[in-house]
Structure 1
């Protein structure tokens, strides 16, 4: 059995700014982790942070879909966990954007809760890029 995480966040920002926050490695480093991301299908990349006693600090990924400015998908792998992360960006009008995250392939409830907590914290940081 695998779990899927779905989160929606609304931001007051132009859709291009939200897209840039998802695809620009300098901006990603401010709200996710240091990285060598490129929005190019097939590009392999890493998100990196300081290792802990429980984790080496590396998330391996490969870009699967780039449909600017509305959809971005990549693999997200750490340890035995291999997931797919898909971002869908929707312009709601009046300068508002809905950012939908779907993370599939989560192996257990503990990993699901960890992903929900982690993305919640990171998406809270994302808003600072739009102020």
Structure 2
């Protein structure tokens, strides 16, 4: 059985700025971090289909600090999808951006392939925290 995480976030920004925050590796490093230590995660992300990338941070007793991924879909500025592999599991993360008008953008996250409720809750916690950090990068 596979579980899916689905979350929506609204930001006061332009769709172009939000797209850049999701696809520029230096901006990603500012909001995708180690949720335990708060340290940034180095990455070599590029929004190019087929590009293989890593996010790296200090390992902990529970985790090696590495996320491996491959870019699957790039439809600027509306959709981005990639694999997200860590801790023996590989999920698919898909971001859908929707311009709501009046300077508001909806960011929809769907993460599929999650094996159990504990992993689902961990993903929900992590992305919720990171998307709060994302708001700071956008302002």
With the shorter chain as reference, the TM-score category is over 0.9
- Alignment of 1:40 onto 2:25: no
For each residue in 1:78-97, what CA deviation from the matched residue of structure 2 results, as whole angstroms up to 9, or x when unmatched? 12211000000000000000
Unpaired runs of 5+ residues, structure 1, are none
Give the total of aligned pairs. Answer: 131
Q: What is the aligned partner in structure 1 of residue 37 from structure 2?
A: none
Give CA deviations for 1:41-60 in whole Å, capped at 9, x if unaligned.
00000011110011100000
Match of 1:120 in 2: 128
- 1:19 maps onto 2:19 in alignment: yes
Distance in 2 separating the partners of 1:128 and 1:103? 23
Matches of 1:115 and 1:81 in 2, distance apart? 12
2:84 is matched with 76
Q: CA RMSD in A?
A: 0.5
- Match of 1:60, SS state, is strand
> What residue in structure 2 maps to residue 63 of structure 1?
71
| SS across alignment from 1:29 | helix
Are 2:7 and 1:7 aligned? yes
TM-score (norm 2): 0.93
Residues 17-53 of structure 1 deviation map (CA, whole Å, 9 limit, x = unaligned):
0000000000000001220000000000001111001
Instruction: Find the residue that maps to 2:81 and give its secondary structure.
Output: strand
SS in 1 for 2:63: coil
